Amino acid sequence: MRQYIILALLLTGTIPAFCQLPADQISTILKDAVNSKRSKSIIVGIIDSTGRSIYSEGVLSDQNPAKPDANTIYEIGSITKVFTSLILADMSLEGQLRLEDSISKFLPAQVKVPVKNGKEITLLNLSTHTSTFPRFPFNVDPANPDAPYADYSISKLYEYLSAYQPDMDFGTKWRYSNTAYGLLGNILTTIAGEKDYERLIIDSICKPLKMKSTVVTLTPALLKNTATGHSEWGQPVGFLHLSSLDGAGAFLSNVNDLLSFATANLGWTQSDLYPAMELTHKSQIKKKPVASTMLRWAGHFGRTKAEILFSKMAALRVTGLSSASTK
């Protein structure tokens, strides 16, 4: 899922300048990207004070020549993490947990939790990528090498956690981790008493915001309008299956739903989740200041690419989806 073509222009200029791009120029940019085989399909949605504008090029797959539309489903990869962190923020505001709680508080007694210099990993560490966990756990033995985490059970995740030896203090260094978000998704699901992570997100976020096409499990109706993902070499690939790591990147969605989500984050639509959304926008770790008024979320799992940008100052939200993983 991709929006780098538009974003390259946006990030080297100003938001107002991007808004002034004529529709035919945006379409030309997308068409050039598809023709250069950077992606099989690209769709970009923009919403501002004048309403929504949708631009798309390409086809859903080699077998389906239909052009993507605002309801076409794409894997959104790590934008799933935004949902996970939003649930964490909402639960903290509701008093169901504290961000500083140790993860051991919510795990089975038999799970050994890593300790470094007398400290344990907290929920905040998981959500800010400061838990020291690696990008993915290493104890995988998949039945299908093309889907290495499809059968990665919660027991395997707990096994990995119990054997893990941290190489630095928790909360001291940023290290991107799908492992951490997979674990966080499971912990939040347990606290909420939901049957699985997908149901947690649908009940808590998708239903209230009327994001009816944002799912992990595709219905036959949604599948008919779903874009096929492609590898960086242009080969079609199957859907991503993460099992116990769903909280890191399992969801699929479309431009319409993601624009609705971004709009809710700006408070343009009323939502009980808005206080939690504002909490997720606040910096939780010390980093070098960045001269930007824009919040950017990106999702990428080697087959599709997704991005959401929005600015409170410019009242602009941009969503881009692509069926290729190229940069």
C-alpha span between 53 and 51 (Å, rounded): 7
Residues of the chain with pLDDT under 50: 1-19, 288-296, 313-317, 327
Q: Is residue 249 part of a domain?
A: yes
Domain contains 327? no
CA 19 vs CA 14, 49, 105, 185, 298: distances in Å = 9, 11, 48, 36, 21
Residue 229 within a domain: yes
Predicted confidence at residue 322, as pLDDT, reads 57
- pLDDT for 172: 92
Residues 42 and 107 in one domain: no
Last residue of a domain, one of 182, 197, 212: 197
Residue 297, phi then psi, degrees to nearest 5: -120, 135
Determine the structural domain holding residue 19 and report its residue range.
4-80+199-322
Q: So what's the pLDDT on residue 2?
A: 27
- What integer pLDDT is reported at residue 309 of this predicted model? 59
pLDDT of residue 1: 27
CATH number at residue 188: 3.40.710.10
Residues 204 and 193 in one domain: no
Give the model's pLDDT for residue 242: 95
Q: Quick check: helix, strand or coil at residue 223?
A: helix
Same domain, 203 and 312: yes
25 plus 120 within the same structural domain: no
Are 51 and 86 in the same domain?
no
